[in-house]
A and B are shown apart, each in its own frame.
Chain A
Amino acid sequence: MSFIPWFLGDAGFTFTVDPLSCWFLAIIGAAGLPVLIFAPGYLQHLRHRVSLNLVWVALILLMISMAGVVMAANAILFLVAWEVMSLSSFALVTADHEQRDNRRAAIIYLGATRAGTAFLMIGFLWTHHLTGSWVFSEWSVSGAAALVPALLIFVGLATKAGCWPFHLWLPIAHPAAPAPVSALMSGVMIKTAIYAMIRLFILDNHFVLPLLGPILLILGAISAFWGVIFALLQHDLKRLLAYHSVENIGIILMGLGVSLLGQRYHLPLLEQLGLAAALFHTLNHAIFKSLLFLGAGAVDACTHLRDIEKLGGLVHRMPWTTGAFVAGSAAICALPPLNGFASEWLLYQGFFNLAMDAPSAGLRFGALLLMGWLALVGALAIACFVKAVGVVFLGSPRSRRAARATEAGRGMVVAQVLPALMCIALGVAAPAVLGQLGRITSRLGDPSPLYHAWTIPLALIALLLACTAGGLAMWMAALSRLLPARRFITWECGFGNLGPRTQYTATSFAQPISRIFGAVYSYTVDINVKGRNRRYFPDKVTAETAHEAYLETKVYTPLLQSIKRMAGIFLMRLQAGSIHQYLIYMALMLGLLLWVGVS
């Protein structure tokens, strides 16, 4: 589709809307709808700190630019939409700028988007130099020439996607934005990078790079693990969810890696399974992650708390939010019959088929190992979400604010129930979703093996589960009419009066797992006992946990410091504050442009 051929030559306002674009447009719509229903109610509690006009304008710009990114037919338009997307989301991250942390987050986010776009831009320019065209469909680069531009583009996209080791900005920027924006950024915006990866590297073979499959698998595996173990340590509900985005991007990238390996070894089923798993998981993650962020937003709006150690007992006060959040948690933990299970099952099948058909024993073993790896990541996600749901919504309230919470407004509740229903529907109707996915993967070959790869009767299992659990509940209800259940206090070993402080905290819940992986982030627990008779009658016991993210402290901080130092040495001379100097620069630049234009 192309219209308004502007004076930009072959890089006009041209759009392509093929099944792949449609899929991502559907994702934008599916996650955008609940976000837009949620936003008015949520933004009420921010109205004194945040300019609502700015938020709405930027939010709409963000939605439009995301649609632009997935429809752009040429690199220039893509970059323009990409930049509008980055800047409008920056405006949203910085919306609540009265808090110092949010300003810092906004600067880090801006820096990350600049770096990412720089890589992307150089990659696009390089490819233009090689192919002489801006139009994506005319790009075709292979062999050694493809290596550098493809890697540059990949780094640019991976920065936006939040793939390890470029994920650093993501857990800082996403929590800083208002919750509906976090939902949109985590759920959809980072997926535009996945879209571009599929478009450029997988679907149409614009870049033929055999290395990319293993790279994607390894980076995806690291991202998935990295995201989830750091998520376990978080106390801020939104930051916890942001780390889970890193995890899920890892899972999606593993799917893409499987697809590329299938392409490399000419295994058509693998190619389709990997891509289908990645695309399906992209949709699923968009839905359950926006649901979870909206839940976090509802909790934030109703209690003004984001520290999960101060929450608790919301299941009685906010039943709808709790129900939707539990459904979202079950979906993100890949529990059947919800949608997260359907896409992760496809990825497992991809790994299993790789283990059967790969030409070398090492690769076959690696594929089996990846199955175990995915199970590990899944089990860690379960631990993390049991922690989050348990500490935020269950037990008794740990602070007065949590005790006084009331259910969110009607719009906010509807906005959460809607994606929760979508999570169930997409899981039960997975074969229908695969039918849609076949339209995209048919570009790689006949999609019928993909349809046959889906063997499990998930809908039937869901029905059986509902009937059995419902039947048991009815039987129990009949029994309790004869002998009603008694309500009594939680058993307190006879000590009397269990306070909310005696409950398990999120930190203690995560401690056993954090200790096992302590080497990854030098996890330490410092227990301090004070008092005269410290052993038997301590006056005060405090425990503090600490961890260090090596990637930040050992790599990024020194790097940024040295860039700052170099800038101090060199850039300061260029930008000395003298107007004469600047006039000379302008004259020199004008001369340079004239010379370039003439020659």
Chain B
Amino acid sequence: MNSLFLPLFHLINLLLLPLLLMGIIRKVKAVMQNRTGAPLLQPFYDMAKFIRKAETISGNAGWIFVWAPRVGLAVAVIAAILVPWAGVLLPPGWAPATNFLLMLYLLTLGKFFTMLAALDTGSAFGGLGASREATISMLAEPALIIALGALALGAGSTDLMTIYSSPASPFIALLAGAGLVITALAELSRMPVDDPTTHLELTMVHEAMILEYSGRSLAMIEYATALRACIFFGLAVQTLLQAWPAFHALPLLLHYAASLLGLVMLGISVAVAEGILVKLKWRSVPNFLTFAVVLSLLAAVIAAVQS
């Protein structure tokens, strides 16, 4: 049965879910704000529109600007195939390729090029966004690696598939999962770190970096962003689900369904939070991310004592 379903699941994971999740978040946010909002499938329509349009490139830009979206999307696709963000679906032989250090650094490669591309046009917005993105990832990455490291300690391996298919202590899972949710908000430039809906505010991070992109390149960036959202939210959901002891014992279909349900629920709660919360002042963002670091350090303490 597995051989039949797995490719299908993966196709759904890659093609449908990321944009659908974005649509759900936007819709819930619109409802929170008493608006009808765009249709649920609007991200798909946008994608089709972007692909059909010609792009405008800044005269300053060089090859980095052109290649950054391609590298960013390639990296996101590879990570989305390998990272078990929708439950452990790949056959066990794939485990070494899902090493969490490899995956995180691979995603960082995409971020590195995005930041460079932001500086390539010579726009002050790009510099602003890149500088802030670098600051945020400096704070988020240690939290991510410590949280996943604490979780990996119980599994005895740094491969994500092995981590998520072996039982973990509920305390570690909850603490690390909470840390991962916060870092995911930061990595994905969502509220309260950054406001993904503003396009011309001095508060923005990710949108400032991609301000110069249009047309096909923008489509690639949007899709990569959606994939990254699924990866980071999925990691947080999988980690939180580790706290539920029966999760591993579920049959494949239920396992997949539970993972997706968790993902959608996290998406909805992010949207609700975005409706309620205000964006943090830029200078308070490091304090917010310190919570993530502290949570993952607590998870690490428990993991160190228990093992």
**A residues engaging B (CB < 8 A)?**
312-313, 315-316, 319, 322, 326, 330, 333-336, 341, 345, 348-349, 352, 355-356, 361-362, 364-365, 368-369, 371-376, 378-380, 382-383, 386-387, 389-391, 394-396, 455-458, 460-461, 464-465, 468-469, 472-473, 476, 479-480, 483-493, 498, 500, 502-504, 508-513, 516
CA separation between A379 and B58, bound complex, in Å? 28
- For A380, the chain B residues whose CB sits under 8 A away are 138
Q: Which residue of A lies closest to B142 (CB)?
A: A372
Q: Are A345 and B150 in contact (CB under 8 A)?
A: no
- A-B pairs with lowest CB-CB distance, top 5: A504-B127, A390-B119, A383-B134, A468-B74, A395-B122
Q: How far is the CA of A457 from the CA of B102 in the complex (A)?
A: 10
Supposing A386-B112, A461-B106 touch, asked if A488 and B57 sit within 8 A by C-beta, the answer is yes
List residues of chain A with CB within 8 A of the CB of B152. 352
**B96 touching A390, Cβ below 8 Å:** no
- A contact residues around B63 at 8 Å (CB): 315, 319
Chain B residues whose C-beta falls within 8 Å of the C-beta of A498 in the assembled complex: 122-123
Inter-chain CA distance A387–B119, complex, in Å, is: 9
B215 in contact (CB, < 8 A): yes
Q: Please give the distance in Å from A164's CB to the nearest CB on chain B.
A: 20
B222 within 8 Å of A (CB atoms) = no
Q: Which of B60, B118, B119, B300 contacts A365 (CB 8 A)?
A: B300
State in angstroms the CA–CA spacing of A369 and B299 once bound together: 11
Bound-state CA distance A22–B118 (Å) is 44
Complex: how many Å from CA A387 to CA B126? 12
Among B51, B60, B109, B301, chain A packs the most CB atoms within 10 A around the CB of: B60
Closest to A398 in B: B122
Additional pairs, 6, CB under 8 Å, beyond known A356-B153, A375-B144, A394-B122: A356-B156, A373-B142, A382-B115, A394-B119, A464-B78, A516-B286
What 1/0 mask marks residues of chain B from 141 to 167 whose CB sits below 8 Å from any chain A CB? 111111001101100101100000000
B115 in contact with A473 (CB, 8 Å): no
Contact (Cβ within 8 A) B116 A336: no
Cross-chain contact B70 with A473 (CB below 8 angstroms): yes
A396 to B118 Cα, complex, angstroms:
13
Query: Are B78 and A468 neighbours in the complex by a CB distance under 8 Å?
Result: yes
Nearest chain A CB to B59 CB, angstrom units: 5
15 contacts between A and B (CB under 8 A): A315-B120, A330-B109, A345-B102, A348-B158, A356-B153, A372-B296, A375-B145, A378-B141, A460-B97, A472-B74, A485-B55, A492-B123, A498-B123, A500-B122, A503-B124
Measured CB to CB, the closest approach of chain A to B139, in angstroms, equals 8
| Number of residue pairs spanning A and B whose beta carbons lie under 8 angstroms apart | 256
Q: Provide the bound-state CA to CA distance between A509 and B118, in Å.
A: 12
Q: A396-B122, A469-B71 are in contact. Are A487 and B57 (CB under 8 A)?
A: yes
Bound CA–CA A76/B73 (angstroms): 57
In chain A, what residue has the closest Cβ to B121? A490
In the complex, the chain A residue whose C-beta lies closest to that of B102 is A456
Residue in chain A with minimal CB distance to B293: A372
Closest residue on chain B to residue A322 by CB atoms: B62
B54 located at the interface, meaning its Cβ lies under 8 Å from any Cβ of chain A in the complex? yes
Contacts A315-B64, A376-B142, A383-B134 given; indicate if A465 touches B153 (C-beta within 8 A): no
For chain B, residues 277 to 298, give those with C-beta under 8 angstroms from any C-beta of chain A. Answer: 282, 286, 293, 296-297
Contact A369 B101 (CB under 8 A): no
**Chain B residue at minimum C-beta to C-beta distance from A465:** B74
CB closest residue in chain B, given A338: B109
Complex Cα distance, B124 from A504, in Å, reads: 5
**Contacts of A372 on B, CB cut-off 8 Å?**
142-143, 145-146, 149, 293, 296-297, 300
User: Are B120 and A472 interface neighbours, CB within 8 A?
Assistant: no
User: Which chain B residues border A516 with CB–CB below 8 Å?
Assistant: 135, 139, 286
Q: Are A461 and B119 in contact (CB under 8 A)?
A: no
- Rounded to whole angstroms, the CA-CA distance of A457 and B74 in the bound complex is 17
> Cβ of A382 and Cβ of B130 under 8 Å apart?
no
**Distance (whole angstroms) from the CB of A592 to the closest CB of chain B:** 59
- Taking CB atoms, residues of chain A closer than 8 Å to B111 are 382
Chain A residue nearest in CB terms to B73: A472
59-93 of chain B: CB within 8 A of chain A: 59-60, 62-64, 67, 70-71, 73-75, 77-78
A333 partner residues in chain B, CB cutoff 8 A: 108, 112
Interface residues of B in 211-259 (CB under 8 A from A): 211-212, 215-217, 220
**What residues of chain B have their CB less than 8 Å away from a CB belonging to chain A?**
51, 53-60, 62-64, 67, 70-71, 73-75, 77-78, 96-97, 99, 101-102, 105-106, 108-109, 111-112, 115-116, 118-124, 126-128, 130-132, 134-135, 137-139, 141-146, 149-150, 152-153, 156, 158-159, 200, 211-212, 215-217, 220, 282, 286, 293, 296-297, 300-301, 303-305, 307
Is B153's CB under 8 angstroms from A368's CB?
yes
A504 to B120, CA, bound (A): 11
Give the residues in chain A near B119, CB-CB below 8 Å: 386, 389-391, 394-395, 504
From the candidates A476, A484, A512, name the one contacting B135 in the complex (CB within 8 A).
A512
- Give the distance in Å from the alpha carbon of A508 to the alpha carbon of B215 in the complex: 30
| A382 and B124 contact, Cβ closer than 8 Å, known pairs A336-B105, A371-B149 | no
CB distance from A241 to the nearest CB of B (A): 18
Residues B58 and A469 in contact, CB atoms below 8 Å apart: no
Are the CB atoms of B64 and A511 closer together than 8 Å? no
**Chain B residue at minimum C-beta to C-beta distance from A454:** B96
Contacts of B116 in A (CB 8 A): 326, 386, 389-390, 394
Determine the distance from Cα of A289 to Cα of B272 in the docked complex, in whole angstroms.
Answer: 48
| Chain B residues, Cβ within 8 Å of A508 | 127, 131
Which residues of the partner chain A approach B108 to less than 8 Å between Cβ atoms?
A: 333, 335, 378-379, 382
Cβ–Cβ contact A503 & B142, under 8 A: no
Q: Are B145 and A458 in contact (CB under 8 A)?
A: no
Residues of chain A lying within 8 A (CB to CB) of residue B51: 479
CB pair B130–A483 under 8 Å, yes or no, is no
Closest chain-A Cβ to B301's Cβ sits at a distance in Å of 6
Q: In the complex, what residue of chain A is closest to B135 when comparing beta carbons?
A: A512
List of B residues within 8 angstroms of A349 by Cβ? 158
The residue in chain A whose Cβ has the minimal distance to the Cβ of B118 is A390
Q: Could you tell me the distance in whole angstroms from the C-beta of B56 to the nearest C-beta in chain A?
A: 5
Cβ–Cβ contact A486 & B54, under 8 A? yes
Whether the Cβ atoms of B304 and A361 lie closer than 8 Å is: yes
Contacts of A456 in B (CB 8 A): 96-97, 99, 102
In the assembled complex, the CB of A357 is this many whole angstroms from the nearest CB of chain B, namely 9
Whether B70 and A390, one on each chain, are in contact in the complex, defined by CB atoms closer than 8 angstroms, is no
Distance in Å from the Cβ of B243 to the closest Cβ of chain A? 19
Cβ–Cβ contact B105 & A334, under 8 A: yes
B158 touches A489 (CB 8 A): no
Report yes or no: B300 in contact with A484, Cβ–Cβ below 8 A.
no
CB pair B149 A469 closer than 8 Å: no
| Cβ contacts under 8 Å, A315 to chain B | 62-64, 120
Are B102 and A509 in contact, CB atoms less than 8 angstroms apart?
no
